[in-house]
Chain A
Amino acid sequence: MSDTPHVTGASPRARRPARRRRRAADNGLAYGFLTPAISCFALFSWYPLVRGVILSFQQVNFVSDPEWVGFANFSAIFHDPLFWTAWWNTVKFTGIALAFGYVVPFFLAVVVNEMRHLKGYFRVAVYLPVMLPPLVVVLLWQYFYDPGNGLFNTVLRGLHLPESQWTQSPRMAMVSLVLVSTWANMGTATIMYLAALQNIPGELYEAAELEGANVWQRLWYVTIPHMRFILAVLLMLQIVATMQVFIEPFQLTGTTNPDTITVMVLIYRYAFTVNHDFGMAAAMSVLLFVVLGAFSMAYIRLISREGTRA
């Protein structure tokens, strides 16, 4: 009880500045080395972010001073008939992309992991598309999808099967875009799943086998529980990434097709094609940022919870 702040308060207070000075001196070196990196981050990441938020409340022409317009930009985008179309398309794209891009790589990883031979070859083969620049991927698929002389329709024609309009039919357009995106990005998820799979102790499978568990039971009771964390992380990361889809709809169907216009394409349309209004584009970006921010927060919480558990 003699240690109450009331009695001994003067003494730690007197010691504090000295400790703080020492701590500052300890960290000075680190701060020194960090400064260039922090300056670059501030200039190229944080400043544009803040500027983007400011811009969403302004009307700019880049000649005279920006004009504050309050929520006018937000009101304008809420009144745009394409606003909800773009959000719905984005959610649809994300949903279909997860169905393909989240589940398929998992099974691919499980299969590759089970292989006795050529495991290395398949690992490389699955990852190869990731190394292609996105524009090359899209141009390649543009050729596949071309309804006139494209590869897919040529094959279908050869097999006497009905041809498809691929990106040009309202029914197929979104699925066609998801296929491109999944094909291009599947490798990363597969490699991550593979890494997680290899961390599962082999004895668990042996024990399960001794208990008489079949392939599906081993997958359900051993593999999936052990991959719970990586599955959750990849889900979050994929949601954040797929909601920002741009190059596939932009390049394959342009900024005009209401069947495939996504939030990012609409932002581009606001800034560069229809409205030439950077304020509206910034307002839409802020909304997207808020939505993605929520997912990112969930992701960070997940990581930190898992970190504490470990």
Chain B
Amino acid sequence: MNRGTFGKIAVSGLVAFAATIVALVTGCSKEKAAASESAATTITVNALPPETETFLRQQFLDDVKAFEAKNPGIKIDAREGKMDPRTFTTKLAGGQLEDVFYVYFTDPANLIAKKQVAEITPYLKDFPSVAQIRPELMKVFSADGKVYGLPSTNYSMGLLYNRTLFTKAGLDPSNPPKTWPEVRAAAKKIAALGDGVVGYGDYSKSNTGGWHFTAELYSIGGDIAVKDGETWKAAFNDDKGKQVLQQLKEMRWTDNSMGQRQFLEWADLLQMMASGKLGMYIATSDNIPVMVSQFKGNYDDYGLAAMPGGKATLAGGEGFMFNAKATPEKIKAGLKWLLFKYDNPERFDEQQKQEATAKRPVGLPEPALWVGDAAKKYAAAVTAHANLPAANYAPFNASSNQVQLKLEPPLAQQIYAVLDTAMAKVLTDQNADIGALLADAEKQANAILATVK
């Protein structure tokens, strides 16, 4: 083959390469054009349960079908996955973020501040049922009087404990600890059972350490951040903050009631509790069904008590927000979907019945999402179909009205990540300097809070 033939091959190769690129680019734009020509509004939504969660997935898909039948102009493109801060920005930058996406209560403030979500205030007038959602919860999705999303569930924290281990340790499962010194004493007795049993467990990784520190601080009347004029300031570097860490340090190193293994994150304590190796930890009631379904636990083993300390309990939850690039049509369609699937007083009874029929938990103790008539309808639906051992949650329910519900601080996930460090250090280093840890965390938290408007 001579040089000319080589040249021809090279040129043909280049042309083919260029043609492929052009075809890819024009292909994409043709696809877009085809989509815009379609009459129906298609919206992408996430939170479709994975195939492993058979019932929930089927329920979701049935809801999509029912919704589309009721709203012929709207098509739902459901995707799996929920809010993952590690992939959120990448999805947003790559145009892959769903039109309606799931968030924790800790996400909205940051997303609103960064202008990464769409405002929905102008469309809410067409949806009167929104007025019955608890105003404190709507506040989570609002800033400067503008609304950016809707809550779908909420929770408050309490002391989750293993009734069987309580009995074994000579404690009364119907009378769980009400104060932190009582928790410490009970943890010691449970850990004394030996065989790797841990009295009290706590987190220190993946933001869950800071989350628990916050809950524990709230429970003794402390605060994470306070508004000082127009700006927020960290408020945890005080005697109360020290008290929380000091108690954990003493339980870990003096009493040896927290086990040797640390750097725990969300699923770890559930797994330990479900396998009968953990006496107590603070949690939300939704941990109970997860322990039963995923870690082979037993409903009768678990009790839920009010938050020790009792001054306040951390309340949080989940909801949905809208892609900043979504068109008004998509936002309207998305709102219709949310108010059909998650926030629909007309479907409370049907939903609870479905859950009970599928032998899923109904009657877990959680604070209400609604006020007024909707709240009454919800309570009636839960009572009618409850299938859980209500007596196990009596200690929680008995005092739930007296404990103040306190929402998470602004930019909570970021603050939690900072506070993870303090939790990790007191649980892994018996010489940890609590004052220095809190001072360091305060400095970092103030830098983060300075970005809150």
Nearest chain-B residue to A28 (Cβ)?
B7
Kindly report which residue of chain B lies nearest to residue A277, judged by CB atoms.
B451
Q: Which of A76, A169, A170 has the most CB of B within 10 A?
A: A170
Contacts of B184 in A (CB 8 A): none
**B-chain residues with CB within 8 Å of residue A64 when the two chains form the complex:** 115
Cβ–Cβ contact A273 & B207, under 8 A: yes
Q: How far is B417's CA from A271's CA once the two chains are assembled, in angstroms?
A: 13
Smallest CB–CB gap between B39 and chain A, Å?
Answer: 28
Within the complex, which residue of B3, B259, B425, B448 is in contact with A275, where a contact is CB–CB below 8 Å?
Answer: B448
Q: Does A62 lie within 8 Å of B429, measured CB to CB?
A: no
Instruction: Output the least CB separation between B202 and chain A (Å).
Output: 14
| A10 to B196 CA separation, bound complex (whole angstroms) | 93
CB atoms of B444 and A80 under 8 A apart? yes
B206: Cβ under 8 A from any A Cβ: yes
Task: Fill in one digit per residue for A243-264: 1 if any B CB lies within 8 Å of its CB, else 0.
Answer: 0000000000111111000000
Q: Which residues of A contact B157 (CB under 8 A)?
A: none
> In the complex, which residue of chain A has the Cβ closest to the Cβ of B12?
A32
B-side contacts of A79, CB under 8 Å: 447
Closest to B439 in A: A81
Note all chain B residues with C-beta closer than 8 A to A35. Answer: 14, 17
User: Is chain B's interface secondary structure helix, strand, loop, or mixed overall?
Assistant: helix
Contact of B260 among A32, A80, A147 (CB under 8 A): A147
Contact string, B182-218, partner A, CB cutoff 8 A, digits 1/0? Answer: 0000000000000010000000111101000000000
Given contacts A254-B263, A274-B448, contact A29 B116 (CB under 8 A): no
Query: Within B1-52, which residues are at the interface with A (CB < 8 Å)?
Result: 3, 6-7, 10-11, 13-14, 17
Residues of A within 8 A of B293 (CB): none
| Alpha-carbon separation in the docked complex, A32 to B418 (Å) | 53
CA distance A124 to B7 in the complex (A): 45
Contacting B at CB under 8 A, from A153-211, are 153, 163, 165, 167-170
Bound together, the chains give a CA A76 to CA B325 distance in angstroms of 30
> Which chain B residues border A163 with CB–CB below 8 Å?
260
* Residues from chain B with Cβ under 8 Å of A39 in the complex: 17
A22 at the interface (CB under 8 A from B): no
| Complex Cα–Cα for A272 and B87 (A) | 8
A276 CB contact (under 8 Å) in B17, B414, B421, B425: B414
Instruction: Check if A33 sits within 8 Å of B13, measured CB to CB.
Output: yes
A293 contacts partner chain B, Cβ-Cβ < 8 Å: no
B424/A269 in contact, CB under 8 A: no
Contact yes or no, B424 A257, CB < 8 A: yes
A148 interface contact, C-beta 8 A? yes
Contacts of B259 in A (CB 8 A): 148
> Whose C-beta in chain A lies nearest to the C-beta of B118?
A63
Q: Which residues of A contact B209 (CB under 8 A)?
A: 256
Within 8 A of B (CB), among A19-71: 28-29, 32-33, 35-36, 39, 61-64
Query: How far is A214 from B262 in the complex, measured between Cα atoms in Å?
Result: 51
Whole-angstrom CA separation of A81 from B205 in the bound complex:
20
Which residue of chain A lies nearest to B440 when distances are taken between CB atoms in the complex? A81
CB atoms of A61 and B115 under 8 A apart:
yes
Q: Are B417 and A273 in contact (CB under 8 A)?
A: yes
Which residues of A from 124 to 152 have beta carbons under 8 Å from B?
146-149
Q: Does B223 contact A (CB under 8 A)?
A: no
Which residues on the A side are within 8 Å of B425 (C-beta)?
257-258
| Chain B residues whose CB sits within 8 angstroms of the CB of A146 once the complex forms | 261
Among A81, A269, A271, A278, point to the contact of B443 (Cβ < 8 A).
A81
Whole-angstrom distance between the alpha carbons of A253 and B207 in the complex?
13
Name the distance in Å between B225's Cβ and chain A's nearest Cβ: 15
- B204 cross-chain contacts in A, Cβ below 8 A: 254, 256
The interface residues of chain A lying within 8 Å CB-to-CB of B420 are 254-256
Closest A residue by C-beta to B207: A273
Asked, given contacts A61-B115, A256-B209, A276-B414, whether A168 binds B448 with beta carbons under 8 Å apart, the answer is: no
Q: Which residues of B contact A271 (CB under 8 A)?
A: 89
Whether, in the assembled complex, B86 has its beta carbon less than 8 Å from a beta carbon of chain A, the answer is: yes
Bound CA span A269–B14, Å = 42
Say whether B93 faces chain A, with CB atoms less than 8 Å apart: yes
Q: Are A63 and B447 in contact (CB under 8 A)?
A: no
- Chain A residues near B85 (CB-CB < 8 A): 272-273, 276
A66 to B195 CA separation, bound complex (whole angstroms): 57
Interface residues of B in 83-137 (CB under 8 A from A): 85-86, 89, 92-93, 110, 114-116
In the assembled complex, how far is the CB of residue A67 from the closest CB belonging to chain B, in whole angstroms?
11
B324: CB under 8 A from chain A?
yes
Contact of B428 among A82, A168, A255 (CB under 8 A): A168
A33-B10, A148-B196 known; A165+B448 contact, CB < 8 A: no
Instruction: Enumerate chain B residues within 8 angstroms of A168, measured Cβ to Cβ.
Output: 262-263, 428
Give Cα A165 to B429, complex, Å.
9
Contact A62 B17 (CB under 8 A): no
Which residues on A sit within 8 Å (CB–CB) of B205? 254, 256
Residues of A within 8 A of B14 (CB): 32, 35-36
Determine whether the beta carbon of B424 is less than 8 Å from that of A256: yes
Asked whether, in the complex, the Cβ of A29 is within 8 Å of the Cβ of B89, the reply is no
How far is B417's CA from A272's CA once the two chains are assembled, in angstroms?
Answer: 10
> In the assembly, what is the distance between CA of A33 and CA of B13, in Å?
8
Residue of B nearest to A171 (CB): B429
CB distance from B130 to the nearest CB of A (A): 25
Chain A: which residue is nearest B423 at the CB level?
A: A256
B440: chain A residues at CB < 8 Å are 81
**Which residue in A36, A81, A253, A255 is a CB contact (below 8 Å) of B417?**
A255
- Across the interface, do B443 and A276 meet the contact criterion of CB distance under 8 Å? no
Q: How far is the CB of A82 from chain B (nearest CB, A)?
A: 8
CA distance A61 to B134 in the complex (A): 30
In angstroms, Cα B38 to Cα A279, docked, is 39
The chain A residue sitting closest to B443, CB to CB, is A81
Q: Of residues 237 to 295 in B, which have CB atoms within 8 Å of A's CB atoms?
A: 259-263
Given the complex, which residues of B lie within 8 Å of A273, measured CB to CB? 85-86, 207, 413-414, 417
Q: A30 → chain B, closest Cβ, in Å?
A: 9
Contact present for A32 and B110 (CB under 8 Å): no
Distance between Cα atoms of A271 and B85 in the complex (Å): 9
Are B116 and A32 within 8 A (Cβ)?
no
- Chain A minimum-CB-distance residue to B259: A148
> In the complex the two chains form, what is the Cα distance from A257 to B421 in whole Å?
6
A33 to B447 Cα, complex, angstroms: 52
Chain A residues near B413: list those with CB within 8 A.
273
Given contacts A148-B259, A256-B417, A276-B414, 18 further A-B contacts (CB under 8 A): A29-B10, A33-B13, A36-B13, A61-B114, A63-B92, A64-B115, A76-B447, A81-B440, A147-B261, A148-B196, A148-B260, A256-B209, A256-B424, A274-B417, A274-B448, A276-B85, A276-B110, A276-B114
* Top-6 shortest CB links A-B: A32-B10, A256-B420, A62-B93, A148-B261, A168-B428, A147-B260
**Can you pick out 20 interface pairs between chain A and chain B where the beta carbons lie within 8 Å of each other?**
A32-B11, A33-B10, A33-B13, A36-B13, A39-B17, A62-B116, A63-B92, A80-B444, A146-B261, A148-B196, A148-B259, A149-B196, A168-B263, A254-B263, A255-B420, A256-B417, A274-B444, A276-B85, A276-B114, A278-B89
